[in-house]
Structure 1
């Protein structure tokens, strides 16, 4: 299956299309924009000293791609599925490709981010690995934090903070609003930006909460907004569109910082008015763009 043809959604509609798949008796979903293709399992080359959740690597059209057993990564019994129905979901995120082994793939559903609730303690014990819960008519579907799963298993996927210059005190005067639903990435962003000198940070877990913070008359003004794309309640494209269509807030720069800055999604970001788009995990580039968007001169200038 090749995705992205004929299923792209209009920019800023707060909708997404989700590929549903099964692991054991659980039903899960992944944003179709993260999926390059779905293939039958192929021979896997085992890598010595690799993470226990990593099956090994495969060669797919001259590319070497790591394979993660998703059932083991989320603590399910890998033997609950049937090898006859197993599939590999080849995904691209954080500028790398990875294949997730799942037990079966069902269909694509179009849903609104408003249908997605934040996970709670009852999310099958997967709260730390779940970014949202979709309540369907006949069951509940969990949207996993695929970035965290890959981050834990594949070291090369981690947020790149290397090469950042020393902290600059003038950055502390800039107020930054950040919409990011992943607990892990919020902490990584906090550590990286604080170390660079951006210490006035306000974090929210989704676009709706960020919009409320931005438009709260009692709150301090923000100099720039950083937003992820995938978030329950309101996604980053819809948040950006609301900001840029607002007469009061349209001049606030918006930086989209996401693992999904590829091809069609980049054009979506342009159409909703994003001032800049940076692909995770390029933290130094994000810091440089914050300097530019908040009017700070480059170091040494």
Structure 2
């Protein structure tokens, strides 16, 4: 895999690993995957969450194993051959988690603009689907692995209690623009940013919608810097990812001075470097909301 070029120049591309649970096809961003291994003996944990199969020891690390079959509420009564089962070792939000799947199909490179956001007609805010990929006559569903983990351990997500550790804060009239595809995270960010004193926050579901809004401000002859004082963006988003979105902002002389903070579960040393290349002013790993607020304080116009 030529992972090195992906996202480094804000190309709006990604590589996904397609896998199956029963006959259902799903995808995961390659950047989340550390390795794929054959199943190992699992030590069961008494009174563990229903999604948790148990724990394994992998090269000295003790890692939880999550059943995607259970997390996605897929019928387990159908008999199947388990010879192709795999463990997907993932890393995001600065933690490692293993997911049990039934088979790996292929790796494919696509553009984010080929990924459609889930329709409200067939999905709810609690959905585990963040995107739909059309692949010939079939569809691949991109899963929200972060949400699955938060469903198991709510403390792994964003919460306002972390803002209280920053002490008493003044209200701010500064306007913040946020590009975040997860309805759950948009809700949590609204609550936590408000608790931090930032009530004027405009939310968009992806980089394309956010950029279109910003360009419309320019087309109306308005000063972008008077309308927006800071941008926060996720990386993984249908239509336009956060790296490409950041590059488009920084390449436009009428908005290039806007501070951009990347707030993503994917921040690693390699991804941090790619964020620097596209011009991000700061990069924070979810769910470190306290650190995000401090970066907002420091960077906002």
What is the rounded CA distance, in whole Å, between the counterparts of 2:122 and 2:82 in structure 1?
26
The worse-fitting range, judged by mean Cα deviation, of 200-209 and 126-135 is 126-135
* Residues 141-163 of structure 1 deviation map (CA, whole Å, 9 limit, x = unaligned): 00011110111013452226425
What is the rounded CA distance, in whole Å, between the counterparts of 2:227 and 2:275 in structure 1?
24
* Residues 210-262 of structure 1 deviation map (CA, whole Å, 9 limit, x = unaligned): 11122222586110000000000000000000000000010000000000000
Q: 1:167·1:197 contact (CA, 8 Å) conserved in 2?
A: no
What is the rounded CA distance, in whole Å, between the counterparts of 2:196 and 2:125 in structure 1?
33
Alignment of 1:64-83 (within 5 A): 64-80=62-78, 81-83=80-82
Q: 1:241·1:273 contact (CA, 8 Å) conserved in 2?
A: yes
Alignment of 1:260-279 (within 5 A): 260-279=266-285
What is the rounded CA distance, in whole Å, between the counterparts of 2:123 and 2:183 in structure 1?
18
* Residues 126-182 of structure 1 deviation map (CA, whole Å, 9 limit, x = unaligned): 9711110000113100001111011101345222642532452342x1110001101
What is the rounded CA distance, in whole Å, between the counterparts of 1:206 and 1:282 in structure 2?
21
- The residue number in structure 2 matching 1:178 is 178
Q: CA RMSD in A?
A: 1.9
Q: 1:167·1:195 contact (CA, 8 Å) conserved in 2?
A: no
Q: 1:119·1:127 contact (CA, 8 Å) conserved in 2?
A: no
Q: 1:133·1:143 contact (CA, 8 Å) conserved in 2?
A: yes
Gaps spanning 5+ residues in structure 1: where? 296-301
What is the rounded CA distance, in whole Å, between the counterparts of 1:226 and 1:126 in structure 2?
21
What is the rounded CA distance, in whole Å, between the counterparts of 2:287 and 2:54 in structure 1?
23
The worse-fitting range, judged by mean Cα deviation, of 76-85 and 93-102 is 76-85
Q: 1:24·1:103 contact (CA, 8 Å) conserved in 2?
A: yes
Q: Please give the TM-score of this superposition, normalised by the length of structure 1.
A: 0.91
- The residue number in structure 2 matching 1:17 is 15
Match of 1:6 among 2, 9, 12: 2
What is the rounded CA distance, in whole Å, between the counterparts of 2:132 and 2:60 in structure 1?
36
Instruction: Give runs of ≥4 in structure 1 deviating > 3 Å.
Output: 78-81, 121-127
Gaps spanning 5+ residues in structure 2: where? none
SS of alignment partner, residue 17 of structure 1:
strand
* Residues 251-289 of structure 1 deviation map (CA, whole Å, 9 limit, x = unaligned): 000000000000211111010000000001100000000
Alignment of 1:83-98 (within 5 A): 83-98=82-97
Alignment of 1:125-136 (within 5 A): 128-136=127-135
What is the rounded CA distance, in whole Å, between the counterparts of 1:69 and 1:121 in structure 2?
26
What is the rounded CA distance, in whole Å, between the counterparts of 2:124 and 2:43 in structure 1?
31
- The residue number in structure 1 matching 2:245 is 239
Specify whether residues 202 and 154 from structure 1 end up closer, same or farther in structure 2 by C-alpha distance, changes over 3 A only. same
- The residue number in structure 1 matching 2:197 is 197
Alignment of 1:281-296 (within 5 A): 281-294=287-300
Q: 2:88·2:99 contact (CA, 8 Å) conserved in 1?
A: yes
Aligned length: 290
What is the rounded CA distance, in whole Å, between the counterparts of 1:58 and 1:30 in structure 2?
21
Specify whether residues 21 and 125 from structure 1 end up closer, same or farther in structure 2 by C-alpha distance, changes over 3 A only. farther
- The residue number in structure 1 matching 2:111 is 112
- The residue number in structure 2 matching 1:298 is none
Q: Please give the TM-score of this superposition, normalised by the length of structure 2.
A: 0.91
